[in-house]
Chain A
């Protein structure tokens, strides 16, 4: 199979009339990488993908595939294949004809096409289903046919637009692993779009988080989760407790925040914010629910806060504990289920504690609504 090639977006702007759908995007995707765009609905993910596949030209900036400027090159001339949000299988063609459509338009003989189709059908674990119509397949099977059809074109870059969004949870999880496996096998560049952070984090080498046409952060899943670049990323990816306040002191990577309602708390300054925060600046501090724990020692400390348990939810592997701190500040804590039956603590006053390294400080910014 062909080796994947780099895809670069340089200062790409995309406008629909006066509406700016993508604002100054700079994204570098390395060859053979599984790269995801993550963002809420309507943030411009599909728009970026359409610019890469050639269905629309950027209003400004350059799209490069394999180092080559793609301006003026139509979708049928680009080394990309797109798996559409709704799959777009050809309803009147049989499965095998769907898969080998890219060969048919090149004039490959029917016998050769059939042979190639059978190979690909084997690969997607759908042998002997080639003579069915797409309408006679299940959702997951259609999904795999769409992937096979795109792979049959032997693209250097495979673009996937939320291909799993229509599937149920179990199948989605199964297809995630399968997609990742396929990607590793064929070794081409995958650009994957999703608004499901679980998908983005589990499958991707790198993730770009988008907010309303702006790319907020590009990093691997670990960094996105633990070291968010903006309050939006911190609140959109995973769950977070947000504390607003002012910076009281800075010491190396760590900062002491004078929060509005929960006293003075210690946290690490996010990598993206280093050198941008001064003492006295307003700031936002984020503590993940799973970073919190019940403190054995109740003495006040800059990594402890007190709150009353409002109610608890049992979710299988974790307990979600909803607490109310000073002045009605809502705090969420997740405790791992370690087997013993946990005594419900509703109404109790607890002291929480966290590892300061797991809390991050960022300059004030927009949060993800939700």
Chain B
């Protein structure tokens, strides 16, 4: 019995580990790559702790304008979706009962339609309208922001509506009647009774709408026009190869999410605590008193520690200078490479000597093997075959624009020579130039 219990427990724990590993693993790996110095995002081997990717991110104009566009689109979508969602939900409560099911199906349909279809149809629809109205092709009806907001709102409004319907179902229509009976106009009854009741739902719907808008790709990809959002920019970037500045962006988003969730949770818990104790809410919302909530909630403690970690890294970034480490790593690599080169030379020397001993016909057959001549290196990189020409020390002279760290950044495939190809350098860190 005991052994069985133990097994059960073990399986459960193993399952949890796998489950959370599956959920959080990629996020953790990505976060770590944001602080590793290699130019291709990777966690191992760990080279140097660095914050330069945050710098790179902060200087990336395309990412920045992408974020800006995303925020503008997000705010617009929140406004439009919340208003349309609320209106849609209200109509559902007012409509003739027999029509309700049909109406519900129609307004919920956009959630089921693929985003791609919504994107295309938004584009086509407003183009038609534009033509019908006889506007020029540069009119606001072709504006990327305008189209993206409309396109995203078509289905995000439905999400919002679901949130509102859930809340409205708990609304006592008697309250509206009471307000009317006490002399309120319909508008006053809506503003003073229904709207305050819907406030929490409006908050949730707005957050939901913003997040849905921020992460949307497949609808936006048809409508963004001259205003690519963050997701569009990232997708375009990935096509040309990525560097850890994207990881650092991911890290920032993760930290913001965690902090946001935490603040919300603390607020909610406190309110619950207040209501459970029968104290008026006002009494508990003032003043800072967390300990009780933390005692019963280790997850919250971990989250707080993670958030604190995030902030302290930012602070640490101001103080810490990774240059020394990088030089060290470079030095080490050079030593290792030097050793290898020596070994290879030794081998080649031995082979040549053997060939010389065996005669000229054997020499001809050896042509299939990669020769050690320095000029051939670009054709056969990645096999550790390169000459003294590519001594990192020389590089500084050949690529004076590049910062000294550059060589260390992308030794990705262990092929030193590859990295020193000027073309690759440009691709790996275009921002550096």
Which A positions have Cβ atoms within 8 angstroms of B?
53-55, 74-76, 80-82, 84, 86, 88, 90-92, 101-102, 104-106, 132-133, 136, 149-150, 153
The CA-CA distance from A74 to B182 in the complex, in Å, is: 11
A53 & B197 in contact (Cβ 8 Å cutoff): no
Would you call B175 an interface residue if the criterion is a C-beta within 8 Å of the partner chain's C-beta atoms? yes
Q: How many B residues, CB 8 Å from partner?
A: 19
Cβ of B181 and Cβ of A105 under 8 Å apart? no
Contact A76 B280 (CB under 8 A): no
Given contacts A88-B178, A132-B280, A76 and B185 within 8 Å (CB-CB): yes
Q: Is the CB of B193 within 8 A of A106?
A: no
Q: B324 in the interface, Cβ–Cβ < 8 Å?
A: no
B178 / chain A contacts, CB cutoff of 8 Å: 82, 84, 88, 90
- Establish whether residues B182 and A86, one from each chain, have CB atoms under 8 Å apart when the complex forms: no
Contact of A104 among B192, B196, B197, B280 (CB under 8 A): B192
Q: How far is the CA of A81 from the CA of B188 in the complex (A)?
A: 17
What are 24 A-B contacts with C-beta separation under 8 Å? A55-B181, A75-B180, A76-B184, A80-B181, A81-B182, A82-B177, A82-B178, A84-B174, A84-B177, A88-B174, A88-B177, A88-B178, A90-B175, A90-B193, A91-B175, A101-B182, A101-B184, A102-B182, A105-B182, A105-B185, A105-B192, A132-B280, A149-B182, A153-B182
- Smallest CB separation, A90 vs chain B (Å): 6
| Residue numbers in B under 8 Å from A153 (CB-CB) | 182-183
Determine the chain A residues whose CB is within 8 A of the CB of B280 once the complex forms: 132-133, 136
Indicate whether B179 reaches chain A with its CB closer than 8 angstroms: yes
Q: Which residues of B contact A101 (CB under 8 A)?
A: 179, 182, 184, 192
Taking CB atoms, residues of chain B closer than 8 Å to A88 are 172, 174-175, 177-178
A149 to B184, CA, bound (A): 13
The docked-state distance in angstroms from the alpha carbon of A253 to that of B143 is 93
Question: For the complex, would chain B's binding face be called helix, strand, loop or mixed by DSSP majority?
Answer: helix
List residues of chain A with CB within 8 A of the CB of B174: 84, 86, 88
State A81–B184 Cα separation when bound (angstroms): 12
> Which interface residue of B177, B181, B197, B280 has the most chain A CB atoms within 10 A?
B181
Interchain CB contact under 8 A, B181 and A92? no
Structural contact, A76 and B180, CB atoms closer than 8 A: yes
Which of these, B183, B192, B196, B278, contacts A106 with CB under 8 Å?
B183
In the bound assembly, the distance between CA atoms of A53 and B179 in angstroms comes to: 12
Distance A216 CA – B178 CA, assembled complex (angstroms): 30
A81 close to B181 (CB less than 8 A): yes
Residues of A within 8 A of B183 (CB): 76, 102, 105-106, 153
With contacts A81-B182, A90-B175 known, what are 20 further pairs, Cβ within 8 A?
A55-B177, A74-B180, A76-B180, A76-B183, A76-B185, A82-B177, A82-B181, A84-B178, A86-B172, A86-B174, A88-B178, A90-B178, A91-B175, A92-B196, A92-B197, A101-B192, A105-B179, A105-B192, A136-B280, A153-B183
Which of chain B's residues have a CB closer than 8 A to the CB of A105? 179, 182-185, 188, 192
A150 to B183, CA, bound (A): 11
Complex Cα distance, B174 from A368, in Å, reads 31
Alpha-carbon distance A76/B192, docked complex (angstroms): 15
**Bound state CA distance, A88 and B185, in angstroms?**
17
Interface residues of B in 269-309 (CB under 8 A from A): 278, 280
Across-interface contacts of B197 in A (CB, < 8 A) = 91-92
Q: Shortest beta-carbon distance, B187 to chain A, in Å?
A: 10
Contacts of A54 in B (CB 8 A): 181
- The one of A75, A86, A91, A132 in contact with B181, judged by C-beta atoms closer than 8 angstroms, is A75
